[in-house]
Amino acid sequence: MKILFATNNAHKLKEVQAVLGPTFELVTPHDCGVDEEIPEEQPTLEGNASQKAHYLHARTGLDCFADDTGLEVEALGGAPGVHSARYATDGHDFAANNRLLLRNLEGQTNRRARFRTVISLLLGGEEHLFEGVVQGRIIDHEQGSEGFGYDPLFIPDGYDRTFAQMTTEQKNAVSHRARAVRKLADYLHSIEK
Ligand code: ITT
């Protein structure tokens, strides 16, 4: 089954395709002739996931899904949260975001944080939401070069290495996005029967 995923992030695409396996073939906005940036202007992850999915559906007429993810840091009152992509600058500058996060946590002993992903699936005109969360902590310097975004600073509970020190398969065993995607896959399988 082919399914359209509203992302321009190649790392996400790889992670999600690995979770879904060969039963589902992911199609990208680019594959459908949509090359502009997909808007995400809402104040919540749910709102942004929904906005991205609705935008792509309006542009293509196809069933599709979108995810939005935020890093929620306890000592920062849940920031950067929905602003995770543009924490330090207007663009998706992962290095600048990580530097700002470390600066804002300097001297802070509470390093608790979680990643939260919300997926919006638009199927036959109906919307379905799925959520995935992983708890962990923020370390005080970057470690590892895999993954993307805040991965070099985040160690999930029960592990002693960051997401950026894991393979895609290892990250997918516990990650926020993989948990949400497994719920999506279970739902898609359940309606196929
Ligand atoms: P699309 O909107 O095109 O899918 P994006 O990079 O903007 O890609 P999100 O809005 O979902 O993705 O994520 C916002 C930011 O949160 C993203 O730029 C990263 O900095 C961070 N982020 C998201 N998922 C992450 C992950 O699995 N590991 C580390 N950081 C992540």
CATH number at residue 44: 3.90.950.10
Which of 69, 82, 94, 98 to mutate to test ligand 1, by most ligand atoms within 8 A of the CB atom? 69
For 61-84, give the DSSP string: -S-EEEEEEEEEEGGGTT-EETTG
**Of all protein residues, whose CA lies closest to atom 21 belonging to ligand 1?**
149
Which of 118, 150, 163, 168 to mutate to test ligand 1, by most ligand atoms within 8 A of the CB atom? 150
Tokens, residue 63: 């069933």
All residues at 6 or more sequence positions from 104 whose CB lies less than 8 Å from its CB, including other chains: 76, 79
Q: Report, as ranges of residue numbers, the positions in the chain whose pLDDT lies below 70.
A: 193
pLDDT value at position 107?
A: 96
pLDDT value at position 109?
A: 97
Q: Which residues of 14-52 are buried (b: 16+ CB within 10 A; e: fewer)?
A: ebbbebbeeebebeebeebebeeebebeeeebbbbbbbb
With a pLDDT cut of 70, the percent of the chain lying above it is 99
Is residue 1 classed as helix, strand or coil in its secondary structure?
coil
Total-model pTM? 0.95
pLDDT value at position 193?
A: 63
Q: How many domains, the chain? A: 1
**Of all protein residues, whose CA lies closest to atom 8 belonging to ligand 1?**
9
- For residue 122, give its domain range: 2-192
- In the structure, which protein residues have their CB atom closer than 6 angstroms to any atom of ligand 1? 7-9, 12, 40, 67-69, 84-85, 92, 94, 97, 115, 147-151, 163, 177
Which of the residues are catalytic? 68
Chain centre distance of CA 166: 16
pLDDT, tens digit (0-9, with 9 covering 90-100), for 53-65: 999 999 999 999 9
**How far is it, in rounded angstroms, from Cα 190 to Cα 1?**
14
